[in-house]
Amino acid sequence: MTVLKTSVLVLDCAEPEPLARFYAELLDATSGPAPGDGELFLVTGSAGVVVLGIRRDPAHVPAAWPPPEDAQQTHLRILVAADSLDEAEREAVALGARPVAAQEDGTRLDNRTTLRRYTDPAGHAFVLAAVREAPLVQP
C-alpha cells in the first residue's frame, strides 16, 4: 500500500506571517498558520490546495543577487498569461517585490517580454514568467 504524500516548497525567513500575506495577495490565495506548527505559515490556493509554505528562521540570511558565479539558487517561478505580465509586475511591486536588474554580460539578460526577476520582501528570488495559454485551469 502506498502512503499518500504531497510536497510543498517552503521558504525560510525571520517573519513568516507578513511574507505569507505577500504571497497570498500576489497569488490570489489565502494564508494562515499551519495547524499545530507555530513556525510555519501556509499559502493556500483554490480548492484548499497548499501552494507554498513560509517558515520562521530567525537566523535567515537572504540569498545574494546576482548570485556568485556558478551558483545555483532556488527561485519561485510564477506563471502569468503573456498579456497580463505588465499588470502582474505592477501588482508584485505594489505588494513589496523589488525588481532585480539583469546582468549585461548576456548570460542572464532578462527578456522583459517573457520574464521579469524580483526579490520578495524577505529577499527570496522569484520570476514572473509569461506563458501563451492561461497558467491556471479554473474549476
Candidate CATH numbers 3.10.180.10, 3.40.50.2300, 3.40.50.300, 3.20.20.330; the one for domain 76-131: 3.10.180.10
The CATH number for 10-56, chosen from 1.10.3470, 3.30.70, 3.30.720, 1.10.10, is: 3.30.720
Confidence of residue 136 (pLDDT cuts 50, 70, 90): low
Domain boundaries, the chain: 10-56, 76-131
pLDDT in tens, 82-114: 888 999 999 999 999 999 875 544 444 456 678
Residue 70 pLDDT > 80? no
pLDDT, tens digit, for every residue of 47-64? 888 899 999 998 888 877
Please compute, for residue 34, the number of CA atoms within 13 A of its CA located in the half-sphere on the CB side: 20
Helix spans in the chain (H):
16-26, 85-95
Give the pLDDT confidence score for residue 131 in this predicted structure.
82
Average pLDDT over residues 119-136: 81
Cis peptide before 139 (omega within 30 of 0): no
Is the confidence at residue 30, as pLDDT, over 70? yes
Residue, of 67 and 122, whose pLDDT is higher: 122
C-alpha 109/C-alpha 37 separation (Å) is 40
Instruction: Please report where in the chains the cell 546576482 appears, as a residue.
Output: 66
